[in-house]
Chain A
Amino acid sequence: AMEGGEGARVREGDVAVLKRGEVYKAVPVLRRRKIIFEKQWFYLDNAIGHIYGTTFEVTNGGNLQPKQEVEETTTETKEAGTDNRNIVDDGKSQKLTHDDIKALKDKGIKGQEIVQQLIENSTTFRDKTEFAQDKYIKKKKKKYEAVITIVKPSTRILSTMYYAREPGKINHLRYDTLAQMLTLGNIHAGSKIIVMETCAGLVLGAVMERMGGYGSIIQMYSGGGPVRAATSCFGFPKLFFDNLHEFPLSKVDSLLSRTFSTETLPSDFEDNTLVEEESNGLTGEKQTSLQETEEEPTTEAAMEINQTEEQETVDINADDVEFKENKEKENKESVREKQIKQLERRRKLIEAASLLREKNADGLIVASKFHPTPLLLSLLEFVAPSRPFVVYCQYKEPLLECYTKLRERGGVINLKLSETWLRNYQVLPDRSHPKLIMSGGGGYLLSGITVVLDKGKSDSSNLEALKMEEPSAKRCKVQDLHC
């Protein structure tokens, strides 16, 4: 409710997404900061204050100028051939040389005009069919017309962007698969959701968007802290983080076996503090990096993820400077301040633990690089009965095992192993067809619903459940053998 609306303008400090064609890139909106995107460089200064969704042209000196709607000038050539029987590829159809084109560009001539010149200097253009002319123009426009749209981050955009740019960072979770997870998990405002992900915080962000700041989320993490690089790209209001909790996976066992207590809880952290206080040098640095991943993988980390090639060198240097400055600051921080931080983290940990202990979560979302079975068997303990859960895995096989193990455990019904296929279409008059390339795989999902775990009768009920849910197993085996 607090987002969108009239306030949907680009502000300094926002994370915005640049879009050119189907290519996206998330960048921080900062003044006098050089951005390189799709082999072009520019500054975002002029974009500040414009409504998200505005399309800009890149002009000389890297300035952005809102694109004026211009009527298509290229339709004046009404002449067209009917087929390509007389078109010969002699490599000489374009009268402009590379140097000519470069000269045009250097003169600062608009991309639109370059395209027009290319058409005029193409000897074969008039003989091409109408469709081929259209295709030629589109191709040249893509190359020479430097237009960029600045869009507001959303799950749609960020999940598409991550899948295209950094699929490895999100375990190849395709955006339609993420969409399934949110629906199968019945993610909505007011719920209490457990999220275990190693998808750069993208899944967490998607869940946060759907909860709109209502309800609570407990993020389970492994290692030093949760990674939220992608989460920070969403630009959520501060309020959304008030009920976002985190809990270390390594403490799950002790929480379940009730050996986790206020006494034993802070051991890790207290140890850290102790060591740190003794020798402020080395371990101090360790602590810094730890906190970096925990609290502030915000803008820097997020941007780093979305930057590639040339840009990276520029930004990493900038980050390095910042990092050093931070470190010095940290070092100067008084012991007292650190203690306050430790207490704060301890308080948050206790809070997350008590939320989990209630064992009444409204859902569980898992999308990680880890084997899903142990995660499910443990984390389902925290979920109330009659609530959905969804597990993502890049591979099918671990989910087969997970399925079997969940059946043995009981307390779950309606187990479903699924995958979605996504097909994109070109829709044009008389030229509609599925796109040439489709994604080969976007991962697999295992979903189900929790029910009251009847411990006394679990054995017999499991057998019945198996019978209920694997109806034609035997017949299938026979078929397999006949084949």
Chain B
Amino acid sequence: MSFVEYGDTIKDGDTAIVFLGHESMFPVKVQHGTVTQTKYGVIRHSTDLIGKKYGSRVTCSKGGWVFILHPTPELWTMNLPHRTQILYSTDISIITMMLELKPGSIVCESGTGSGSLSHALIRTVAPTGHLYTVEFHQQRAEKAREEFREHGVEHLVTVTNQDVCKNGFGVSNIADAVFLDIPSPWEAIGHAKSALKAEGGRICSFSPCIEQVQRTCLAMEEYGFTEINTLEILLRVYNVRTISLQIPDLGKAAEDNSSTGFDSSSPSNQGSLCANLQQGTVQFKSGVPLREMVGHTGYLTFATKS
């Protein structure tokens, strides 16, 4: 396995995702002789994982079972150890498309942070592209390097430990795209411009606050970027539910109930309140929005160097 190439079977040294159930999973480094504890019991890597097919159901020691999944940048994003606030797949998707990334693209990124976006970028630009990522926090830079090695993508990425606002990306005139997720992106716009290819490229800056966006837009204009565009993307997730709504009793005679024009509830609707009330109900499937949703991650400002 690697994050840029699918494999069929689980091998020693792989990073796999243990899927326990609804939104409950964690990554595991597969190693001979190692065991992993889950709430369903122990998983023995040598016998339960190595050699098995990705996507298999693995029975744990207590009889419960989990699925073992092939890693993807998206699963990694949901499970990686946070060293910073991270970007999630919804923002990552639009960033990737709006930066026009594809195999062969050269991308500059700062900061590396926890590597959530980095993994997605590497996946997209492989096998011929490259990611130059700059992280001013030494420990984080080191940790990111280690992860890229473990995930079999180190040949596609260069991690540099320096301050992008002061020292830039360490490359010039080679990037097709630049991404900034730093507190003061306006200080790095000049460096971004010189990292981009002479014939042009795309830039994106992610900022949670509108004041940051304003300064960034001004800097982009100053440096001659065009097509400056700020947007925000929000993910709405729906739970699929079967809902029963009671038909109100308006005092009609009981025998008239059949003529209300509704499909009366099926007898399978036991256990819910409706059954106790000896009333007709209407059942339907609904996509119910979550009670709470992420209302804001950050503004994404895109622009073109031409």
Contact = CB atoms under 8 A, between A and B. Distances in A.
15 contacts: A6-B199, A54-B306, A155-B97, A176-B97, A182-B93, A183-B74, A188-B126, A385-B56, A396-B287, A421-B234, A425-B231, A425-B299, A444-B287, A461-B57, A481-B274
Interface of B: 4-6, 8, 19, 21-22, 53-57, 67-70, 72-74, 89-90, 92-94, 96-98, 100, 102-104, 120, 123-124, 126-129, 176, 197, 199-200, 210, 213-214, 217-218, 228-246, 271-274, 285-288, 299, 301, 304, 306
A183 B230 contact: no
Contacts of A440: none
Given A423-B234, A429-B214, A449-B69, A179 B102 contact: no
A477 B244 contact: yes
Contacts of B230: 424-425, 427
A188 B123 contact: yes
Contacts of A214: 103, 127
A418 B238 CA distance: 6
Given A418-B238, A468-B21, A387 B6 contact: yes
Given A175-B97, A425-B232, A191 B6 contact: yes
Given A188-B126, A468-B21, A179 B240 contact: no
Interface centre among A6, A414, A415 (most CB of B within 10 A): A414
B237 A417 contact: yes
Give the dominant DSSP class at B's interface.
mixed
Given A191-B6, A388-B72, A474-B271, A396 B238 contact: yes
Interface residues of A, number: 82
Contacts of A451: 55-57, 67, 69
Interface of A: 1-6, 8, 51, 53-54, 154-156, 159, 175-176, 178-180, 182-184, 186, 188-191, 209-214, 360, 362, 384-388, 396-397, 399-401, 403-404, 413-425, 427, 429, 432, 434, 444, 449-452, 454, 461, 468-471, 473-474, 476-478, 480-481
A417 B243 contact: no
Interface centre among A6, A422, A481 (most CB of B within 10 A): A481
Contact of A423 (B72, B74, B231, B241): B231
A449 B103 CA distance: 24
B199 A387 contact: no
Given A214-B103, A420-B236, A424-B231, A452 B70 contact: no
Given A176-B94, A186-B73, A414-B19, A470 B239 contact: yes
